[in-house]
Every structure is written in C-alpha cells, then in structure tokens.
Amino acid sequence: MPARLKVDENLPDEIAELLRGRGHDAVTVADQGWEGLADVELWRRIQAEDRWLVTADKEFADLRRYPPGTHAGLILLRLAKESRRDYSRIAEIALGQIELDEAPGAIIVVNERGVRVRRAP
C-alpha cells in the first residue's frame, strides 16, 4: 500500500521522485511553499496531512519530542558527507529494506551502515 510522505527542503527533489517511482504519494515542502517554516509549524502541518516526514534534520529524531506511534512516521537520512547522489542512494537502500505500511508511526534512521527502525512500544 502506498505511503503518504513529505520530503523536507533539506533533501534533493530526487528523493520525492524516487518515492513516487515506487508508487508512494510524495510531495516536497517546496511544492507547497513551506520553505523556511519553523520545525514545530512544519511538523504540525505535515501531521495534519497524515504524512511521513523524510528529512535530514536530526532534531526530528528526538524520541522525547516525537515518540514513535504519536505521528504518521519519520525517515531520517544521515550522511557524514552530504551530497544529492548519496542522499538518493541511501533513500533507495532504505526503500529496498522497509515496507512503510508495516511501520506506521515509526522513526526510521538510515545511514551508510544500515537502517534502524524504532517502532511504537
């Protein structure tokens, strides 16, 4: 089943294209003119749409502020050396390993070493 996702402005548009290519409903923050919003307002809007957030902003992975199960879901892409190509590469790796419809409300952290999923208790 396709997931509904919002790709943050700190990631390349190719991530949304990759997600759409896999059948997901993916839009970018820029598609809606939401660039520059404070994190708390961006989060509120994304959750009002019942969408996962795909981001490189590690602030969103704070389990105390955004505990698994209290939101639609979060995918955090973490790279030591940031590049458009590498973000697309690790996003593709994550999509090959995770079925988003089987992890609602999860926090998924993806880096060069692998994929870590934190689900609701």
E-strand spans in 1-121? 4-7, 25-28, 52-55, 74-77, 107-111, 114-118
Structural domains of the chain sorted by starting position, each given as residue range(s) with its CATH number in brackets: 4-118 (3.40.50)
pTM, entire model = 0.95
Tens of pLDDT, residue by residue over 21-58, are: 999 999 999 999 999 999 999 999 999 999 999 999 99
Residue tagged 């404070």 (tokens): 38
- pLDDT over 70, % of the chain: 100
